[in-house]
Structure 1
Amino acid sequence: MGAWGKELQVAVKMLFTVHRQVIFLLCLLPVLYTLFFGGLFYKNSLTMVPVVVCNLDVGDKGQELVRDLADTPELNVTLVNGDADTDKLLAATNAAGAIVIPQDYTAKISSGSCATVELLAAYGNTVEGGTITKAVQAVISAKNAELIAKYRLSAGWEMAQAQGAQLSLSTRTLYNPTGGYTDFFLSPLILHGGQIAMVFLLGPSLVLEKRYRGKEMLVYPIRVLLVKLLLYTLLGTAVMVLCLTIGIGFFHMVCRGRAGEIIMLLLAYMSCMVSFALLVGAWVKVPYRAITYSLFYIMPSVLFTGAIWPRSSMDVVSYGLSYLLPIGYVADDLRSLLVKGASAGLEVHIFILLLWGMFFSCMAVWGLKHALERKKNAGNYVAGVETAGS
């Protein structure tokens, strides 16, 4: 068996001995991310968002509007009496929105004047705030269309003309019809879970392996790191595919892309993250430092990917940071493949990920060579045997 074959045999053996806990957690963490966040976004839409309504109108039109709001499934309406100030209404309750119907609402509607209903949506939670705003706007739009048709009939229009001569919008969504939060959030979070598991586990384990194998590992850094790169890239990609399969099968994620393109993107991404983990593990001396140094690079990365906040609306600094993070080249592409079936920059981003991986790998090789030189200069090796001082 050649040197490469022996190194592969050693690496596989260590997977199931020294690193067995690492491998277990490496497989478990992304799956847990998928299950927990998939369950969190599984409903894909908000219902029964608490809203308080203060109806100052004593006429029948005000009561009719309250009933229409209460019949909306997105809203959980509580009718209150008292202050018409929406800010005070929200402050006095735990509601996410407050609606005030003015006291002259019926009179203005009956006379053909414009009546204004006040809505205050608390955007402390943007999803709740957006849901309330859209639901109330839908009710008001329906009431407005009904009033327009009524006035047209009173002006002598035919019934078909009065009800049909209106502007309508036909909407088709690429996401789940009920909202698409799973499609929007889950795939970037799966990628984030994968990079956390790979970097926070593989980096420290490489530090321990340097101590365990000693000079044997440091003398041939290219061979050692390439074998690890191959094994962990295949393992990480398999875990990512499993997580996406769970998301598609159990949490109804949309998947319109070709499997080959998705796997190629995941292979490039995982090879890049494995290379980064090896880079960190090759340079640090203490396992906890591998986690500490990686923390500042990995943890905020999902916010700079463009998958949650679009790159087109980022400031210059954030825009630049988004291209210094490997996940920034994959998160939007993966979601586009799943949702739209194609991604315009896929080939370019795969190539850039491979370049990043090559850079990280070269730096990791340099780190192991530097560690060997450091040990030699310290006199910790005598005739190729590590002394107790190392």
Structure 2
Amino acid sequence: MKLTEITLLELKALFGRKRPAALLLFGIPILYSLLFGYVYRSNVIKNIPTVIYDQDQTATSRALTQAYMDSERYQVVDQVMTQEAMEQSLRENRAQVAISIPPRFAQNIKLGLASEILIVTNSVNNMYANTVISSSQEIIQTFSAATGQKLLEGINQMPASALRSVAPVKLGVRIINNPTTSYTNFMLAGLMANGVQIAILLVAGPLLVREYGRLSRWQTTSSTALVTGKLLACWISALGAFLASLGIIAVFFGVPVRGNPASLILLGSAFTFLVVNISLFFSAIAKNEVSALQTPLLYLMPGLLFSGLSWPQFAMNDFARFFSALMPLTYLADTLRDLTLAGYSPALLKNIAIMFAGGLGFYLSTIFVFAQRRNKLANPPAKEVLV
């Protein structure tokens, strides 16, 4: 049977059953895109439950309290009168942040003395702490500059001059490519690709191992043609799922796709080629279909954690970087994010070459293993007859 006929038969098997496997191949990455897209849709953490402990109770301290209430990052759930009540709110998780304003806060400011605001945050979830630190610095700096300006205006200094005196250094920040620091833009494309990876493993995992039980079906077909036909059918379908999912996160969740379409297609082709060949290799060496599905799934969580999607590779230790180099998602996650957000990736061609080379290596290994096992099953060794 010709290669094209095998490929078409495999495509028909993927799409033509009562319960087509293509539903998994397309459905899982699309479902991942939608679910994670809705999780990260707010882009930044807002309305963090906050308790205020104002020990000063002056117009100045109330102005600072109002600054926190006006910020969308905080939701003031309580204003307490004792240290114990503040700590209890944190301990019982009624609040994740506490703002403690010291006594004589306004008086110390008027006297030109330092006055320290204590911010207590629950860092069980680091997202809270990171958000609180950055936003509180902005609120306190703005409040300090405004307060100092009013003090100098009180001694007949002009407003503009007073502001320059209390805030002589200004910070200019320019964030490129992801100016809103959106978690959707940061994470969603990589999580979508992980969904594609899982779908490929589930669909391609059983394809070769089940052929060991029906050798008569392809008696006149070479092992190379069989492996290649299954590869092409899965690869074409997986690339379609990758591009469809990429379109969904762009249309429904506003993830920018600034890269050249040809670069994105080539990157997706290399990634799906590698993962399909890994799946077929596990299928060729597996004892049964269950083993073919379970074995590659063991690496999914480590593959995601070590991919550089959430923790940069340059911050990993030597062992972590070595382990990361074995994970297919490593060569896609950062590169895909660079292409979508910045429009280019300096590692694009290198990572594409690595994935195609790795996929080719697994492809050749799969053909060898599959041919050997197939030949052994078709021609079992003759049993010795004892006389």
TM-score by length of 1: 0.90
SS of 2:334's equivalent in the other structure is: helix
Moved more, 354-363 or 365-374: 365-374
**Do the aligned partners of residues 209 and 168 (structure 1) sit closer, same or farther apart at CA in structure 2, a change above 3 Å counting?**
farther
Q: 1:105 to 1:217 in 2, by over 3 A?
A: farther
Q: Identify which range, 286-295 or 130-139, moves more after superposition.
A: 130-139
Mapped pair 1:120 → 2:106? no
Cα 1:206–1:23, aligned 2, differ >3 Å: closer, same or farther? farther
Aligned partner of 1:305 in structure 2 is 307
Q: Report what 1:283 is aligned to.
A: 285
Matches within 5 A, 1:148-297: 148-154=148-154, 157-164=157-164, 166-175=168-177, 177-214=179-216, 216=218, 220-297=222-299
> For residue 5 of structure 2, what is the aligned residue in structure 1?
6
Check whether the contact 1:247–1:253 (CA below 8 A) recurs between aligned residues.
yes
1:44 Cα offset (Å): 1.1
Match of 1:15 in 2: 14
Partner of 1:321: 323
Cα displacement string for residues 251-310 of structure 1 (whole angstroms, at most 9, x for unaligned residues): 010121111101100000000001001101111121111122112222321111112101
Deviation at 1:128? 2.4
- Letter of the aligned partner of 1:258 in structure 2? N
Q: Partner residue of 1:356?
A: 358
Letter in 1 for 2:73: E
CA RMSD, Structure 1 to Structure 2 (Å):
2.3
What percentage of residue pairs aligned between the two structures are identical? 26
Q: 1:167, 1:254 → 2: CA distance?
A: 34
**How far apart, CA to CA, are the structure 2 residues paired with 1:372 and 1:250?**
47
Q: How many residues align?
A: 379
User: Do the aligned partners of residues 218 and 280 (structure 1) sit closer, same or farther apart at CA in structure 2, a change above 3 Å counting?
Assistant: farther
> Structure 1 residue 73 and structure 2 residue 75: aligned?
no
Q: Which residue does the alignment assign to 1:338?
A: 340
Helix, strand or coil at the partner of 1:51? strand
8 Å CA contact 1:305, 1:331 repeated in 2? yes
C-alpha separation in 2, matches of 1:238 and 1:10? 18
CA distance in 2: counterparts of 1:172 and 1:343, whole angstroms = 20
Deviations 1:16-43 (A, max 9, x none): 4569532221111111001111111112
- State the partner residue of 1:97: 97
8 Å contact from structure 1 (residues 175, 254) kept in 2? no
Distance 2:121 2:255 in 1: 30
Q: SS at 1:76's partner residue? A: strand
Distance between the aligned counterparts of 1:65 and 1:12, measured in 2? 65
Structure 1: how far apart are the matches of 2:74 and 2:216? 64
Mapping 1:19-34, distance limit 5 Å? 21-34=20-33
Q: What residue number does 2:58 align with? A: 59
CA distance in 2, matches of 1:262, 1:80: 54
Amino acid at match of 2:23: F
The CA distance in 1 between the partners of 2:156 and 2:129, in whole Å, is 41
- Work out which structure has the larger RCO, using CA pairs closer than 8 Å and 6 or more positions apart in sequence: 2
Q: Is the 8 A contact 1:183 1:253 kept in 2?
A: yes
Q: Secondary structure at the match of 1:21?
A: coil
TM-score, normalised with respect to structure 2: 0.91
Return the offset for 1:137.
1.7
Deviates more, 1:106-115 or 1:120-129: 120-129
SS of match in other structure, 1:52: strand
Residue in 2 that maps onto 1:387: none
1:10 deviation in Å? Answer: 3.0
Residue pair 2:53, 2:80 contacting (<8 A) in 1 also:
yes
Equivalent residue of 2:208, what SS? helix
Cα distance, 1:239–1:9 mapped onto 2, change above 3 Å: closer
Which residue of 1 is the match for residue 37 of structure 2? Answer: 38
Code of the aligned partner of 2:48: V
Cα deviations by residue, 1:336-390 (Å, 9 ceiling, x for unpaired): 001011101110110000111011112211221231243146359xxxxxxxxxx
User: What residue ranges of structure 1 are gaps of 5+ in the alignment?
Assistant: 381-390
Q: Evaluate the alpha carbon distance shift between residue 370 and residue 219 of structure 1 in structure 2; reply closer, same or farther with a 3 A threshold.
A: farther
CA contact (8 A) 1:207 1:281 kept: yes
Q: Is the 8 A contact 2:207 2:230 kept in 1?
A: no
The residue that corresponds to 1:388 in the other structure is none
Structure 1 stretch displaced more, 321-330 or 15-24:
15-24
User: In 2, Cα distance between the equivalents of 1:110 and 1:92?
Assistant: 37
Change in CA separation of 1:86 and 1:343 when aligned onto 2, cut-off 3 Å: farther
Out of 336-345 and 87-96, give the one that drifted further.
Answer: 87-96
